[in-house]
Amino acid sequence: MIETDNLVREITTGKGYVVIPDVLTREEAKEARSLVLHHTKLEREKGKVFHHENKERLCGLIYKGTIFEKIVQHPQVLAIIEKILGTDIILGGFSAHIIYQNATRMGNHVDYPYWAMPAPFPSQPILEVQTIWLVEDFTENNGAPLFAPDTQKLGTWPDVEKFDKIAQKITGKAGSVIISHGLCWHDTSENVTPTPRVSLLGNYTPSFIHPLEENLYDLNTDAIDRATPQLKKLLRHSLKTQEKPFFDIHNKHLYQSPVTS
């Protein structure tokens, strides 16, 4: 508990991010990485992988393996996120980011929804927490992310010169997770190794924020059938089921199901 409080403090009023080692086992990290590379190859053949200058994104990750369902609702990580955002949160996006040899930096940025809003950005309520899962070792040379400490306090777009002066490269072992405040300026670095670098990116927001990604993209209904109530809520399926299609906006009671013949 104390640890959770300290980590929350570091994300909100400290540097703006934390790195927690050994959240996944090395085997789990390896499994997630090989599933990402396997599905990326399949999806690329169908023209469904988003790409830009030697970087690729694989979306609909939640439907591509039970390991991903487990990762997005990891209790230790969710406890930290819920302390920051409250319990009424959704998973606005969950995708994999693959950085190949000679990929350029993605460009320093704040996270969604801030980048879709006019600056200066509000400091409260906090509108996003990002998770970057390391499914392999992130090293000095393979595209590890860069974070500019304390910049979540500024509420502005990154200043490129300042970013380059203060940013720190976040290296770590496979199985670690970086949890960051959506306003903390960050970027990726160059991958100068021959091995693709894979991260898993979770975007958590209060439920009133329009999701970054379409959570029905590549829907696999088995994943929903076996989903925990927590996962259904994160994916907004608890609001979309046929039995409970509406909210009463005045008292938030759910309407009863329609009578069917």
| Per-residue mark of binding to ligand AKG, 86-115 (x: CB under 6 A) | -----------x-------------x----
The CB-of-207 to ligand AKG minimum distance in angstroms stands at 21
Q: Which is nearer to ligand AKG, 199 or 215 (CB)?
A: 199
Cis (ω within 30 of 0) for the bond into 113?
A: yes
Q: If binding is defined by CB under 6 A, does position 132 make contact with ligand AKG?
A: yes
Please state, in angstroms and rounded to a whole number, the distance separating the CA atoms of residues 19 and 179.
Answer: 7
Residues that contact ligand AKG, how many (by CB under 6 A): 8
Q: If binding is defined by CB under 6 A, does position 201 make contact with ligand AKG?
A: yes
Distances in Å between the Cα of 73 and the Cα atoms of 4, 61, 136, 204 are: 16, 14, 20, 11
The CB-of-243 to ligand AKG minimum distance in angstroms stands at 36
Q: If binding is defined by CB under 6 A, does position 181 make contact with ligand AKG?
A: no
Please state, in angstroms and rounded to a whole number, the distance separating the CA atoms of residues 151 and 66.
Answer: 35
Question: Which two three-digit tokens encode residue 218?
Answer: 């590549």
Indicate the DSSP class of residue 246. Answer: -
Q: Which is nearer to ligand AKG, 16 or 145 (CB)?
A: 145
Q: Among 39, 181, 186, 233, which residue sits at the site for ligand AKG (rule: CB under 6 A)? A: 186
Site for ligand AKG in 138-177 (CB under 6 A): 145
The CB-of-258 to ligand AKG minimum distance in angstroms stands at 41
Q: If binding is defined by CB under 6 A, does position 56 make contact with ligand AKG?
A: no
Question: Which two three-digit tokens encode residue 151?
Answer: 């910049």
Q: Which is nearer to ligand AKG, 23 or 224 (CB)?
A: 23
Q: Which is nearer to ligand AKG, 90 or 201 (CB)?
A: 201
Please state, in angstroms and rounded to a whole number, the distance separating the CA atoms of residues 13 and 220.
Answer: 39
Q: Which is nearer to ligand AKG, 17 or 63 (CB)?
A: 17
Q: Count CB neighbours of 114 within 10 A.
A: 21
Q: If binding is defined by CB under 6 A, does position 199 make contact with ligand AKG?
A: yes
Please state, in angstroms and rounded to a whole number, the distance separating the CA atoms of residues 106 and 164.
Answer: 14
The CB-of-224 to ligand AKG minimum distance in angstroms stands at 25
E strand spans, 71-196: 89-99, 129-134, 145-147, 168-169, 177-181, 186-188
Spatial neighbors of 80 by CB under 8 A, at least 6 apart, are 4, 7, 8, 11, 129, 179
Query: What are the residues binding ligand AKG (CB under 6 A)?
Result: 97, 111, 132, 145, 186, 188, 199, 201
